[in-house]
Amino acid sequence: LSFRFSIRRPLHHHHRYHHRYQHQHRIPIPFRTPFPSPVPRPQVFQTPGEDEPLNAGTANRPEVLAETLLQRRRVLTRAALELALMSSISHPNIVQVYAQWPTALLERDETQPCRRRLRKLPPDTTPSPSGGLVCAVMVMEYCDKGTLVDAINRGDFVVAARDGSGFKANYKAIYTTLLEVALALRYLASMAVTHCDVKPANILLRSSPRDSRGFTAKLADFGYAALLRDTSPDGHRSVVTDEACGTVTHMAPESFVEGEPVDSSADVYAFGEGGGMGTGPRVT
């Protein structure tokens, strides 16, 4: 395996991104193209207008409204942190971000009304009067082999037994894939970052003709990642999250308890759930 590391960049610009998006929220939008595209549908940050009701009926009660605003703030914080993290880390087993624009305008293409286009904007630009939406854009490497779940379902980690008795686990492919994920987690730990949602569905595969498996594994989806900001007297680093987060089938016990310190060991626990590569499909 070969490695490529970049100079570590500070993550304090996470606060700058959060300040920029603190009045915005995610909404899905239609994004149709006349031909198949490897680029996934974007999720847009839209500033709510004065005519957009937050809730109706009992949802306007103060306690319900406060909870709604709290949940929205948490989503914005995670989105800002993900944008900052993905543009600050570099490892061959983590999905690489090639470029990112905190402010871009998604608008209708006047020449082809059924299509939309993205246009880069200066940081402090207000939305276009034509109705375009200001959004954040990340250009990431394309992992054409799908997820680790897809590989497990395809049977990429089993081979036919020589005696014709059936199939057996391809331990070379399994161990190589687990090693790549472990290297990504070790790198995150060295950067004082915990992923908090390690699972086969968040491990993407990119074609690699020189690899006997035909792919390279890359960790993705940093929506629940957290910076290990708290340091104990013995030098142990952890973070207290404001809510339980992750995927239930892969969460460490301490991740279920609100206010309980979480560290990189939560990722190690989730990493141990990778045994499905040798046993076949399972809950992901």
pLDDT tens-place string over residues 40-66: 444 444 444 444 444 445 555 666 566
**CATH-assigned architecture of domain 148-279:** Orthogonal Bundle (1.10)
Taking only the tens place, the pLDDT of each residue in 99-137 is 877 777 787 777 776 777 777 776 665 555 556 677 778
Which of 130-134, 180-184, 274-278 tops mean pLDDT?
A: 180-184
Three-class SS state of 136: strand
pLDDT confidence band for 163 (50 / 70 / 90):
confident
Two tokens at 82? 């993900």
Domain range annotation of the chain? 14-140, 148-279
H or E element in which residue 184 lies: helix 171-190
Neighbour order of strands in the sheet with 230-231: 230-231, 237-240, 261-262
What's the half-sphere exposure (Cβ side, CA atoms, 13 Å) at 269? 19
Looking at residue 159, its amino acid is: V
Classify residue 165 as exposed, middle or buried by CB count within 10 Å of its CB (0-12, 13-18, 19+): exposed
